[in-house]
Amino acid sequence: MEQPPDGHGGQDQPAVSDAPPRCYRHPDRETGIRCTRCDRPICPECMVSASVGFQCPNCVREGSGTGQPAAATRPRTLVGGSVTADPRLVTKLLVAINLVVFILIQVVGTRLADDLGLVGYAADGRGGLIGVADGEYYRLFTSVFTHEAFLHIGFNMLSLWMIGGPLEAALGRARYLTLYLVSGLAGSALTYLLASQYQLTVGASGAIFGLFGATVVLVRKLNYDMRPVVALLVINLIITFGWAGIAWQAHIGGLVAGTVIGVAMVYAPRAHRALLQYGASGLMLLVTVAIVVYRTAALT
């Protein structure tokens, strides 16, 4: 009998795995992107923009000839942000701020939530007026970090950690923080415009929905399986419109702003990337300001 050319007799060859490749620096993360120099799989956190495609941080360091990234070859995320040692630092700080405010509300009382939450224009119960239309514009911002119920903050902070962490790694700290804050303010502005002027609204949901929108854009750009993130977004939208007492205006405002900014962040051409990315963020902020000015004029 003729022996097979591989020299292993009639033994079966090991099966080839169909599992997606995993980042060689983070083995727990599946990815479809490879370093253009070493061809090893890398996740969004490890992607460094190169003249052609993306490189891993190790290849960038080797290319500088010093073992450390040179100024011209400093590791960048796929959208141009700086690669940092702790890619979740801003997310950790945002979670911490929300938790600190929540604890203070539990200690001081709900009066603090009333002072920080979003109110359009209402009587304060002492013969005076309160609300954004009365000049308390800070409420548009502070309400994004305010929660009263344990379930509310628990769900929001879990979503922030799960969605925000990977997104921060992909965008970089400055772009990620810009996305979060502008989305939160856009959610507050749409709530101010459409909700009752007497309604008290609190929560980080608008900002988190902005992260959802940007994540969908990023996943589409990387050609990842969109079904999990889209399914999660749909579930949250069903809850938004099917559960009484939820400010759907904040969710939709944040989602629209986050999606628009996400498109600019991910698809901006390299030559004018920063200008277009922050320009889109500034444009959304201007729209937010315009909504606030219009609503204030209508109420006063």
Please list the active-site residues.
Answer: 205, 251
Residues 16 and 60: their CA atoms lie apart, in Å, by: 31
List the Cα angle 140/144/147 in 5-degree steps.
Answer: 125
Residues 226 and 100: their CA atoms lie apart, in Å, by: 34
CA dihedral (129, 132, 137, 138) in degrees, to 10, reads 70
110 close to 168: Cβ distance less than 8 angstroms: no
**Helical axes 205-221 vs 173-194, angle rounded to 10°:** 130
173 close to 81: Cβ distance less than 8 angstroms: yes
Label residue 131 exposed, middle or buried (CB < 10 Å: 0-12, 13-18, 19+).
Answer: buried
